[in-house]
């Protein structure tokens, strides 16, 4: 039980620190009035603030996932029920605090394809997300080296070794699973794009939790290239190329298929815009 409490405390501390960093970035980088140059899709938020929000939010997502993955693999969680409730709650916290950040290179590409940001900004977002993912991997090892719990101690003593979450019989099966997860999430967002923000947020959290339950034993149900790069690519069992095909190409193809099938020029792009405008933190 102590291991669970320490891990939950680590997650709570991570969210608190990243929230404070986002607020500091907003106070320092948000101009007193909208920028004179309005981006594609009518976007007026300062680009530096967008990148800072992506950085700290992706860092939060990856750090929390590292800790929860370690907790899940330890076997101390009593069954699927509490684990799914925890996934639901932490996903709800993430979406509630991320603001405009997507923390997902695929979503950044979608925003560019739908005309909601420039190609240059989309590229910088992807680079920032991958950089935050790499930093989160190293920072997690630093946190575990503090030996705050027996779970952290044992993981440090094992040199932070982890095994691949890819448990499908073939790479193509793994790609298909990640493809289906990415496509399903976007299809649900499109189908219910006209819902009010609060029920829509819970719907998105619910579908993510369901996908984790349905596909978690097969690929880990990541469907986020930056998150996969942080938590999976350093694990034993597969090569970098194999991981890239499953966790990068799979979700990318799933998202692009959704864009094509769900009309990228009209309703679907509207749904992407609504999705990325998540509830922002209250100003102090």
- Scanning the structure block, which residue is given the tokens 């189908």? 191
- Whether 281 maps to a domain, the answer reads no
Confidence of residue 77 (pLDDT cuts 50, 70, 90): low
Kindly state whether residue 282 falls inside one of the protein's structural domains. no
Residue range(s) defining the domain that contains residue 28: 2-276
Provide mean pLDDT across the span 21-50. 71
In a domain, 205, yes or no: yes
Q: How far is CA 6 from CA 10, 152, 223, in A?
A: 6, 9, 27
Reported as a pLDDT band with limits 50, 70 and 90, residue 279 is very low
Can you give the pLDDT at residue 280? 41
pTM of the model: 0.87
In a domain, 228, yes or no: yes
Please name the residues in contact with 180: beta carbons below 8 A apart, sequence gap of 6 or more.
215, 254
Is residue 237 in some structural domain? yes
Q: Do residues 181 and 256 make contact, with C-beta atoms less than 8 angstroms apart?
A: no
CATH number of the domain within which 140 lies: 1.20.1080.10
Helices then strands, counting H and E runs in the chain, come out as: 12, 0
pLDDT in tens, 183-237: 999 888 888 878 898 999 999 999 999 999 999 889 999 999 999 999 999 999 8
Tokens of 167: 């448990």
Contact 21, 56 (CB under 8 A): yes
Q: Find the distance separating the first CA and the last CA of the chain, reported in whole Å.
A: 36
Q: How far apart are CA 21 and CA 53, in angstroms?
A: 9
Of 99 and 14, which is predicted with more confidence? 14
Residue pair 246/171 in contact (Cβ under 8 Å)? The answer is yes
Phi/psi for 163 (5° steps) reads -105, 155
- The residues pairing with 236 across neighbouring beta strands, listed in sequence order, are 163
Strand ranges for the chain from DSSP E: none
Residue 166 — φ and ψ, nearest 5°? -85, 105
Q: How far apart are CA 10 and CA 235, in angstroms?
A: 22
Name the strand (E) or helix (H) holding 147. Answer: none
Count Cβ atoms below 10 Å from residue 126 Cβ, excluding itself: 20
* Cα separation values, 94 from 11, 53, 211, 270, Å: 11, 12, 17, 22
pLDDT category of residue 145 using cuts at 50, 70 and 90:
very high
pLDDT at 80 over 50: yes
How many structural domains does the chain have?
1
pLDDT of residue 263: 54
Above 80 in pLDDT, residue 247?
yes
Contact criterion met (CB below 8 Å) for 182 and 201: no
Q: Which residues pair with 163 in a beta bridge?
A: 236
Instruction: Tell me, yes or no, whether 52 lies in a domain.
Output: yes
For residue 108, tell me if it sits in a domain. yes
Whole-Å CA distances, 245 to 129, 166, 226: 19, 12, 14
Q: Give the chain's mean pLDDT.
A: 86
Residue 239: which pLDDT band, with cuts at 50, 70 and 90?
Answer: very high
């Amino acid at each position: 039980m102590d291991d669970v409490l320490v891990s939950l405390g680590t997650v709570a501390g991570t969210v608190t620190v990243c929230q404070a960093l986002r607020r500091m970035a907003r106070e320092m980088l948000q101009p007193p009035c909208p920028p004179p140059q309005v981006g594609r899709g009518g976007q007026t938020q300062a680009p530096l603030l967008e990148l800072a929000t992506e950085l700290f939010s992706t860092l939060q997502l990856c750090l929390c996932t590292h800790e929860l993955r370690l907790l899940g693999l330890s076997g101390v969680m009593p069954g699927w029920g509490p684990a799914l409730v925890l996934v639901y709650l932490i996903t709800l916290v993430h979406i509630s605090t991320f603001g405009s950040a997507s923390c997902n290179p695929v979503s950044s590409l979608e925003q560019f394809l739908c005309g909601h940001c420039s190609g240059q900004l989309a590229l910088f977002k992807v680079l920032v997300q991958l950089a935050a993912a790499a930093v989160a991997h190293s920072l997690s090892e630093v946190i575990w080296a503090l030996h705050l719990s027996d779970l952290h101690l044992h993981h440090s003593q094992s040199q932070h070794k982890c095994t691949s979450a890819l448990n499908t019989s073939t790479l193509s099966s793994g790609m298909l699973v990640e493809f289906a997860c990415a496509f399903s999430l976007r299809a649900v967002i499109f189908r219910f794009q006209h819902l009010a923000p609060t029920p829509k947020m819970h719907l998105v959290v619910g579908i993510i939790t369901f996908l984790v339950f349905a596909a978690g034993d097969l690929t880990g149900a990541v469907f986020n290239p930056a998150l996969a790069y942080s938590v999976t690519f350093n694990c034993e069992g597969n090569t970098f190329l194999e991981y890239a095909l499953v966790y990068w190409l799979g979700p990318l193809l799933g998202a692009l298929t959704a864009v094509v099938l769900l009309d990228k020029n009209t309703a679907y792009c509207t749904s992407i815009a609504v999705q990325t405008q998540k509830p922002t933190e209250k100003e102090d």
